[in-house]
Amino acid sequence: MGLRDRVGTALKDAMRNKEAERLSTLRLINAAIKDKDIAARTEGADDAGVSDDVVLQILGKMVKQRQESARAYEEGGRVDLAERERSEIGVIEEFLPRQLTDDEVTAAVDDAIAETGAEGIRDMGKVMGVLKGKYTGRMDFGRVGPRVKDRLG
């Protein structure tokens, strides 16, 4: 079952179970996927919709946005809104693959460097490209970038 189908099924279940907060978040996910479908169609893509990889990117972006919002709400003293953002993060993360541990990230970075034959900081783009191709949705590339830089620098 693809990610799009899993979201649809979860949406229907949330409706049946009258889970208002969960339903709201699932609708946001569904809307973001549909927006991306429409954007892809206007760019000439087929009508099948975006791939699971693109859906993973959408979900990852949604999590990052909510993490930033939660931080901002906490700094502003709005703990109630920060908790709501964290609750949405929990729902979104149900559809993301398991995140890699620090050791797994280190091993993945080493493998990508070996695979690309990277020797210096100029090869960072190649290494990041390999990592994004293999681990989209499974690692935070904002945190991985400095690690790659340290390894190559």
| Three-state secondary structure of 81-129 | HHHHHHHHHHHHHCCCCCCCCHHHHHHHHHHHHHHHCCCCHHHHHHHHH
Confidence of residue 1 (pLDDT cuts 50, 70, 90): confident
**Structural domain for 123, as ranges:** 102-152
Task: Provide the token pair at 26.
Answer: 């699932």
Confidence of residue 136 (pLDDT cuts 50, 70, 90): confident
If asked whether residues 81 and 43 sit together in one domain, one would say yes
If asked whether residues 9 and 81 sit together in one domain, one would say yes
So what's the pLDDT on residue 47?
Answer: 65
Which amino acid makes up residue 99?
A: Q
CA distance 88 to 105: 25
pTM above 0.85, yes or no: no
Q: How many domains does the chain have?
A: 2
If asked whether residues 51 and 115 sit together in one domain, one would say no
If asked whether residues 89 and 129 sit together in one domain, one would say no
